[in-house]
Structure formats: C-alpha cells, structure tokens
Chains A and B, each alone.
Chain A
C-alpha cells in the first residue's frame, strides 16, 4: 500500500512535469520541478483524506510514505540536471563509443568535446542564475552564491573531500 501511494504520487508529479515541459520548458527548471513534486502532495493528500474518510491512520505509516516520496523526488530532481545537461564524462564516453573499433584520436576528441570555452559558458550561466556578479571585468559571488559556496566549503571540509571540479 505504501509503495503504491508513493508510486502513484511520483507518477502524477512526473506526468504534470512532462506535460509542463512539453508545453513550455521553464527557465528555472529546478525550482519548477521542486514546486511540482512538493506542492502536488499538499493538494492531493487532503483531498484523499476527505474522499476516503481515513480513520485507521497510522503516523508511522505516513512517515514511511513521506520519506519514500521525498527521497525518490529528490533523486529525480538530481538526475534531471544530468538529463538536461549531458555530463562531460558521459559525453567523452559516448563520443568514443560512437567511433567503435576505429578509436578516437586524442587531439580530435579534445576538440570535439570543446573544452576551450567551458569556463566562460559556466560563468555566464552562473551569472544568469544569480550566483555571480560581474563588475569592472571581475567575477565575485552574489549573496546567494556566497551562501551556496559556504555550504559546499564547510561540507567539503566536514566530509574530508578535495577541491573538486
């Protein structure tokens, strides 16, 4: 029953997301996805309670449904970014895969992946997202960016990770 509830909720949210994207892809996709996946249960669950008049309701069971639904929703939201923007690692693998037994020449692969303007592309998209400010030819963190940088900096120190990238 718990599996069924969570699966139905996720399926309903996914269907709305799919229809929305087919009509018009939103600029801030992640924010809209979070809204769809988390607003939907807030609307549907009270309606279900009203229709079925649930009496034998257990809070522990509700916790299990909520935990399963939220965790799966977050997994999808995380995976969505890998769907929308191809991971460079997968792009490299896919490019070599397409060449099959002939192999991909090292220099040609580097050119095909097009790493030369990668930094500029990322900086511009981060500015559009409100993470960075660009003033007098210099990049600085916006207030939103500072908060996010602090989360990842402390996270990296706490979990014993390197610099990344």
Chain B
C-alpha cells in the first residue's frame, strides 16, 4: 500500500498547525484560526486521497474513513492542547506562577489575578457569545440545544465508566 496514503493524516495535521498559527498571529481571532486550521487540514487530506485515486491507486471507502478519522482524531488532540491554554484554570495558574518564579504567590494573590467570579463570568460570556444561553429579566434560559448531546453523552459515559455512585463534585 502507498506510503502517501499512510502519511496523509500527518501531512494534513501539519498543514492544520501551520494555517492555525499563521491565522492566529495575523488576525488574533483564536476561535476562527482553530476552525480554519481544521478545515484546511481536512481539505489537504481529501486532496491527497483524490490525487492518489487519480494516479490509479485503488482506494476503498474504508481507506477514506481510516484516513479522515485518523486526521480528525489527531486534529482533536491538537485542539485539546490549544483549548487547555485557552480555558484551563490549572494551566493559567501554572503560567502565572512561572512568572513569579523565586518568590511564589499566596492563594489570595492568585485569586486576585483570576477571581472565581471572573472565571464564572468568562464561561457565561462564552455560552452567551456562542448563543447557547440567553439572559431575560435577570434569569438564564437555554437558547440553543446544541450542547445537549454533549451533556447527555458525558453523563451516560460517566455512569458507565465510574458507576452510578460516583460523585463528580468530590472529584473536581
């Protein structure tokens, strides 16, 4: 079997990373840069498969699925790394402590830099911006049910893997 077929997802991921990086630095639109990078990589992956097909390499539907699934999985890992930098409180704490190297920081200083209220507001803001929730008369309502499958699947998986007596609050 052709090596280009095997390595197509890696080439696509490389292209994804390059497009995301260039787009983020030039426009500072982080979310769009991630989406553009993902799509650019997908296009490259499909283009490689199409060019192989044109060169006479016989590709089955399974070859397409394997290649695209591998690319999407790799792209998800890259997205998770970027997302950790964007949303994780732990990473934010570690990065702040890195700047305070030598002296360290107290709990109060860390809380001042990034108050729990700020964290809460940022998350609410993200949900509002993506039109998931809406505020009417000082009350929050669901605007779109796009996140519902995620909530249902994560709850079901939690029950399957952790068992029904697992307390998510204690394991935060």
Interface of A is mostly: helix
Q: How many A-B residue pairs have CB under 8 A?
A: 237
| A68 and B73 in contact, given A141-B97, A161-B24, A162-B86 (Cβ under 8 angstroms) | yes
Query: Beta-carbon contacts of A148-165 to B below 8 Å, as 1s and 0s?
Result: 111011011011111111
- Residues of chain A contacted by B69 (CB below 8 angstroms): 68, 72
| A164 and B85 in contact, given A67-B9, A85-B171, A159-B20 (Cβ under 8 angstroms) | yes
Task: State the B residues within 8 Å of A (CB).
Answer: 1-3, 5-7, 9-10, 20-21, 24-25, 28, 30, 33, 62, 65-67, 69-70, 73-74, 76-77, 80-82, 84-95, 97-98, 100-101, 103-107, 110-111, 114, 116-117, 119-120, 122-124, 126-127, 132-133, 135-142, 147-148, 150-151, 154, 157-158, 160-163, 168, 171-172
Shortest CB–CB separation between residue B85 and chain A, in angstroms? Answer: 5
| A120 and B77 in contact, given A68-B69, A96-B140 (Cβ under 8 angstroms) | no
Greatest chain A CB density within 10 A among B1, B70, B84 is at: B70
Shortest CB–CB separation between residue A31 and chain B, in angstroms? Answer: 16
Interface of B is mostly: helix
Q: Which residue of B lies closest to A2 (CB)?
A: B66
| A165 and B116 in contact, given A58-B1, A84-B158 (Cβ under 8 angstroms) | no
| A64 and B5 in contact, given A115-B120, A159-B85 (Cβ under 8 angstroms) | yes
